[in-house]
């Protein structure tokens, strides 16, 4: 299914087979106004904003998961450094979404492997279908896809959440390592779908701004801690590719992070050789560098990128290596490594691979090209 969608990305809507679906397609076409002309290579206000309907929430092992849906809509997959638009297909009934979070802290967990199985009256419509990890301005990080149902009726939806592949740290150390699943009953009707809120934004579309996050009492929206609320010491901030980078330093790494997980080398002060990061002492004696990569305006975490850092002090490179994607209830989703960082050091951050997460409208032109970000580590 994903291969089919990927191959269809960029195809004109007129090429979609419409036999027997004309009235349905006309409705969806009206729900998808033209893209904003002359879109900036940055976060911008999209052409319209849609609401969503809650199917339900349930526990899935260590996870809490919510199932929601909205109108089918276009979105973009990212392959390498190229965004590829996925059009609405004539058979699409809805855009099905899941949000996964920690029930104890409310931290939304970016998860790239959520699957769904949909049945109706004992007949399987989809089996183990993976949803795309994606990000939108009003929902933040979630998983979703446009799906075809078999008309109005009641559907059983089984959501499976595999072990979280991202490194877990702090109070998340040792958690989210088991598969969980949850069952939902989806009462679907075209008339109920049409009652979901929908608004075009002719006066704001294209502005360098973002939609407000949804306010939902029942479930959290992904976010990152305000810079002043991050643990440790805030040592620098910067912007590249329209993403915001907030850098913090902890005196010691959080639980779950070992020095040997940081793939880095350090050049010794004499310059006549290299030592591995683990040669510099136990991880508990060394500081931790955390980089929160987030969207402007709404502060959504930006997952599925590849980051690295270089730390230089008095001409000596003390760290040159990758930053591991990590979830921590205090630091949020971030990229981090055990690295000796002190005030006055020269720090360079590089995005080695752009975020591979799918994007909703308004994010698809941002976070696609980055310059190195250099700063002097503050106090």
Angle 174-224-299 from CA coordinates, rounded to 5°? 150
Q: Give yes or no for residue 269 having a pLDDT over 70.
A: no
Segment 372-375 long-range contacts (CB within 8 Å, at least 24 positions apart):
372/240, 372/348, 373/238, 373/239, 373/240, 373/245, 373/348, 373/349, 374/346, 374/347, 374/348, 374/349, 375/236, 375/237, 375/238, 375/247, 375/346, 375/347, 375/349
Look at 214 and 137; give whichever has higher pLDDT: 137
Give me the pLDDT at residue 28, please. 44
- Dihedral over alpha carbons 232, 236, 240, 244 (to 10 degrees): 40
Give me the pLDDT at residue 223, please. 93
Please tell me which of 217-221, 242-246, 342-346 the model is most confident about, judged by mean pLDDT: 242-246
Tokens of 54: 């809650």
Tokens of 99: 């949000």
Whole-number average pLDDT of the chain: 87
Q: Give yes or no for residue 129 having a pLDDT over 80.
A: yes
Domain boundaries, the chain: 44-203
pTM of the model: 0.87
Give me the pLDDT at residue 340, please. 86
Paired sense of beta strands 132-136 and 140-147, if any: antiparallel
Q: Give yes or no for residue 281 having a pLDDT over 50.
A: no
CATH code for the domain defined by 44-203: 2.60.40.2480
Q: In the predicted model, what is the mean pLDDT of residues 132-157? A: 96
Give me the pLDDT at residue 10, please. 34
Q: In the predicted model, what is the mean pLDDT of residues 59-70? A: 97
- Give the up-direction half-sphere exposure of residue 350: CA atoms within 13 A in the CB hemisphere: 9
Q: Give yes or no for residue 207 having a pLDDT over 50.
A: yes
Q: Give yes or no for residue 134 having a pLDDT over 60.
A: yes
């Amino acid at each position: 299914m994903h291969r089919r969608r990927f191959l269809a990305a960029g195809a004109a809507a007129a090429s979609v087979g419409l036999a027997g679906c004309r009235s349905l397609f006309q409705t969806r076409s009206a729900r998808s106004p033209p893209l904003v002309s002359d879109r900036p290579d940055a976060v911008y206000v999209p052409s319209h904003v849609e609401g969503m309907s809650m199917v339900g929430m349930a526990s899935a092992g260590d996870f809490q998961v919510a199932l929601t849906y909205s109108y089918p809509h276009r979105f973009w997959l990212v392959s390498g450094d190229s965004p590829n638009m996925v059009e609405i297909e004539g058979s699409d009934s809805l855009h099905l979404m899941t949000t996964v979070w920690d029930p104890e802290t409310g931290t939304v967990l970016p998860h790239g492997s959520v699957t769904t199985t949909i049945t109706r009256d004992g007949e399987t419509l989809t089996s183990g279908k993976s949803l795309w990890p994606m990000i939108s301005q009003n929902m933040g990080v979630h998983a979703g896809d446009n799906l075809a149902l078999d008309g109005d009726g009641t559907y059983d939806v089984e959501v499976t959440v595999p072990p979280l592949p991202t490194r877990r740290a702090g109070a998340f150390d040792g958690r989210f390592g088991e598969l969980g699943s949850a069952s939902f009953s989806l009462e679907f009707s075209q008339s109920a779908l049409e009652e979901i809120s929908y608004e075009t934004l002719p006066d704001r579309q294209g502005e360098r701004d973002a939609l407000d996050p949804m306010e939902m009492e029942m479930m959290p929206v992904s976010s990152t801690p305000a810079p002043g609320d991050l643990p440790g010491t805030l040592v620098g901030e910067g912007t590249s590719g329209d993403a915001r980078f907030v850098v913090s330093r902890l005196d010691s790494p959080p639980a779950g992070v070992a020095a040997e997980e940081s793939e880095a080398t350090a050049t010794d002060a004499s310059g006549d050789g290299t030592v591995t990061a683990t040669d510099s002492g136990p991880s508990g004696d060394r500081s931790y560098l955390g980089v929160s990569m987030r969207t402007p305006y709404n502060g959504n975490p930006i997952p599925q990128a590849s980051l690295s850092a270089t730390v230089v002090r008095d001409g000596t490179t003390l760290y040159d290596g990758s930053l591991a994607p990590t979830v921590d209830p205090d630091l949020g989703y971030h990229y981090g490594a055990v690295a000796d960082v002190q005030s006055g050091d020269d720090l360079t951050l590089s995005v080695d691979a752009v975020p591979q997460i799918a994007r909703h409208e308004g994010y698809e032109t941002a976070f696609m090209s980055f310059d190195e970000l250099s700063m002097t580590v503050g106090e």
